[in-house]
A and B are shown apart, each in its own frame.
Chain A
Amino acid sequence: MSDHTLVDTYETRYARLQEVVAQLETGDLPLDQTLTLYEEGSRLAAECQALLDAAELRVRLLQTGDTTPDLEG
């Protein structure tokens, strides 16, 4: 069972995006850091959006041993 899900990927990026925004909003950063953060934030936002756009529900059936009924039936 994969422990890393799409939501994990999304949440990691979204959390970092929020952090970057908060850092920029408090201000008082050197210019190069401001620009670096801005670039990082823009990249994160684009990645989050891409994840949302491309998401497709992943459905699996837990194998309990006895029966494996047909899901699409």
Chain B
Amino acid sequence: MQALGVAQLNGYLRELLESDEIVRNIWIAGEISEFRRYTSGHCYFTLKEDGATIRGVMWRSYADRQTSLPQIGDAVFAHGKISIYEARGELQLVVDSIVPAGVGLLNARFEELKIRLAAEGLFHPERKRPLPTLPRRIGIVTSPQAAALQDMLNVLRRRCPLVEVLISPCVVQGDRAPDSIVEALYAIYSSDVDMIILARGGGSIEDLWCFNDEAVARAVFASPVPLITGVGHETDTTIVDLVADLRAPTPSVAAELAVPDLADLAAQVADARARLRLAVGADLAARRAIIQMAARRIEFAAPLRRIGQDRQRIDDLARRLSARIGRATDLRHARLRGISAQLAALSPYATLARGYAVVRHIASGLVLTSPDQAAPGERLRITLRQGDLLADAVIPIPEEKCG
């Protein structure tokens, strides 16, 4: 059998202590009996209670995060782990937080976690993401039986029924709550949602305690999409509220903040419609003005005006033409009258007027120029100036006697 070296023993004991579920993450209640801060910034102290003591150390990085350092005689809660100082083989408490015992253990734990997570950057304002203006699908992580869920659904139904809701059910009270919430959160993370509401109705500080759980806080921090918390009442602020992208005082308010009002969306659509009409109206008015201007210019340049003038000239010419034609006709009439007079002068009737007569056969109408042309008893027509006379031939007179 081989003896264990001291260093090996202490190393083994240290590993043993640091792997123990209970003492590697523990709250210790006691009174500060010694306290010194070294120039290195590390703090060394002794906690005592009921005649027992334990030495403790708080490294500078944690000491710097304390809002205040304890004084000798203070009753405190210290959080940390039990380890072994190998150089001396002494047990020691390695703490990350010391809070006054007056605030109670729950508060002490709350403050410790808050300080630690703040130091890690889980509450950084720069990390807060803006909410989508109009989420497509909202994931709600809550208890499906709770009134809080119906409150939220009523708000969403009234405000913006366009969105879809996917509920990831969980237990929000009791020992199982933290695991259940973490599980429900990760279930919704792998679903297609673009916003998450983590909510719980009001309750006692103990009821809401799962929202101060470190695992829940880290799960909220891991959300791939903006997350709103609505936990308890207005006065309750939990660790997850600090981690969330937005903290709503109640579940109903969380639902209000999650979506726009449908009336606002309708107003936007109406506005777009009005702008559409206005733009097209302006466009058409501009076109109409251009056309009217062009029409005026065409009117000035148009042949209509000249056509009017030309029409007048044509009327004038026509008048002059018809006047000329009228005169020519008059001349012709005059000439015709002259010729008629001449003609009348040459007519045999003119000779009759002078006392001559024309003799014709009644039957043939032939003019007689010789007596032998008429047989005795033959009826003849003698045309005088004033009219006709009928006569019967008697004896033809021989031609030589007549000549």
Contact = CB atoms under 8 A, between A and B. Distances in A.
A10 B162 contact: yes
Contacts of B192: 1, 3
Interface residues of A, number: 42
Contacts of B144: 61, 69-71
Contacts of B276: 17, 20-21, 24, 38, 41-42, 45
Contacts, number: 123
B136 interface: yes
A27 B283 contact: yes
Contact of A5 (B136, B160, B161): B136
B135 A7 contact: yes
Contacts of A35: 280
A7 B272 CA distance: 18
Contacts of B273: 41-42, 45
Interface string B163-194: 11111110000000000000110011001100
A18 B269 CA distance: 9
A41 to B, nearest CB: 4
B60 interface: no
A14 B160 CA distance: 16
A18 B270 CA distance: 12
A68 to B, nearest CB: 8
Given A17-B272, A52-B262, A62-B167, A57 B156 contact: yes
Which size class do B's interface residues fall under?
Answer: 35 or more
B153 interface: yes
B272 A73 contact: no
Interface string A40-64: 0110010011011001111111101
Contacts of B272: 14, 17-18, 21, 41, 45
B162 A14 contact: no
B40 to A, nearest CB: 50
B233 interface: no
B287 A62 contact: no
A13 B104 CA distance: 57
A25 B365 CA distance: 109
Contacts of A7: 134-137, 162-164
B283 A24 contact: yes
Contacts of A57: 153, 156-157, 161, 163-165
Q: Which of B156, B163, B279, B282 has the most CB of A within 10 A?
A: B279
B336 interface: no
Nearest 5 pairs between A and B by C-beta? Answer: A24-B279, A7-B136, A55-B161, A57-B161, A55-B162
Given A7-B137, A55-B161, 9 more contacts: A5-B164, A7-B164, A21-B272, A21-B279, A49-B266, A55-B160, A57-B156, A62-B187, A71-B149
